[in-house]
Amino acid sequence: MSTSSPLLLHFDEDQASAQRIAAAAGMGCAAIARHRFPDGELKLRLPAELPPRVVLLRTLDHPNEKLTELLLVARTARTLGATHLTLVAPYLAYMRQDIAFQSGEVVSQRVIGRFLADLFDAVITVDPHLHRVATLQEAVPVPQAVVLSGAPLLADVIAAHHAAPLLIGPDEESAQWIAQAAQVHGFDFGVCRKIRHGDRDVQIALPENLAFAGRAVVLLDDVASSGRTLAGAARLLLAGGASSVDVAVTHALFAGDALQVIKNAGVDRVWSTDCISHPSNAVSMAACIADALQNPH
């Protein structure tokens, strides 16, 4: 690999994903060395010389320390020869907080979006949770902002297990991903209504005019975090006569006991993409990300 060829940088825990993406994109990859001091501060080391185009892979689950890493790596990469920096963040944190509901509340999407735009020339992500903002570039104002979706690939996994499933989105915000997935194989679909009383207290209403009895149902969403929304929908579907309920998500956050909560609600199988490493990973986004790196427009 010549010094002018693009280079993908990654941390040790992302090595397997980085190697898949780099191989598919035909670029080299190198690990960033990390040392943690007793007081918690980080010392990072990049390759001593970098090519003009550098890609940094960092999915932003558990984001707070990782955002500090992005700051340190991006600023240093510029001094080592990089002139164009791309962030590949298969999961992009802080996108849900896009409006202030109370006076003085931080609109995290704007702050983090501006932070990333100051560091990178391009951002590639998968199914960002954009609700009141229409495009990723509005949230992260970089020259190139690329959005990929795991929904079509998850639809292929679903089709391999069910001949004629019913896809259900657990809330109104899931409508965009449900529509994408359903279109791939012509699946029937619908979307629930959700009333949130707290992070772990949600009320679900199933879509009207849809028959669930005897149907294999798959709940599909972009993120599974607390698991309470998916669990509530699963219980209602099974009570309504669904023959089975599976779950397919792009981002397998599964905070705390979330996966067990979903299983306890009667969910059979759980499928996810590898945007966040998890035992439920059934789909690799490497080829899609590699294609976006080679054809950013």
Residues 132-173 have pLDDT tens digits of: 888 999 999 999 999 999 999 999 999 999 999 999 998 888
Whether residue 70 contacts residue 48, with contact meaning beta carbons closer than 8 Å, is answered with no
pLDDT in tens, 24-77: 999 999 999 999 999 999 999 999 999 999 999 999 999 999 999 999 999 999
What is the structure's pLDDT at 276?
A: 96
Residue 1 has pLDDT above 50, yes or no: no
Would 7-149+284-294 and 151-274 be classified into the same CATH topology?
yes
What digits encode the pLDDT tens for the residues 175-232?
Answer: 888 988 999 999 999 998 877 666 556 678 888 888 889 999 999 999 998 888 899 9
Domain boundaries, the chain: 7-149+284-294, 151-274
- Contact between 233 and 170 under an 8 Å Cβ cutoff? The reply is yes
Architecture of domain 151-274: 3-Layer(aba) Sandwich (3.40)
The Cα 258–Cα 253 span in angstroms is 9
Q: What is the pLDDT, as a whole number, of residue 114?
A: 97
Check whether 2 has a pLDDT greater than 50: no
The string of pLDDT tens digits covering residues 242-254 is: 999 999 999 999 9
Q: Report d(CA 132, CA 125) in Å as an integer.
A: 18
Q: At what angle do helices 151-161 and 175-185 cross, to 10 degrees?
A: 50
- Domain 7-149+284-294 is in which class? alpha beta
CA distance 155 to 167: 9
Two tokens at 21?
Answer: 């993406």
pTM for the whole structure: 0.92
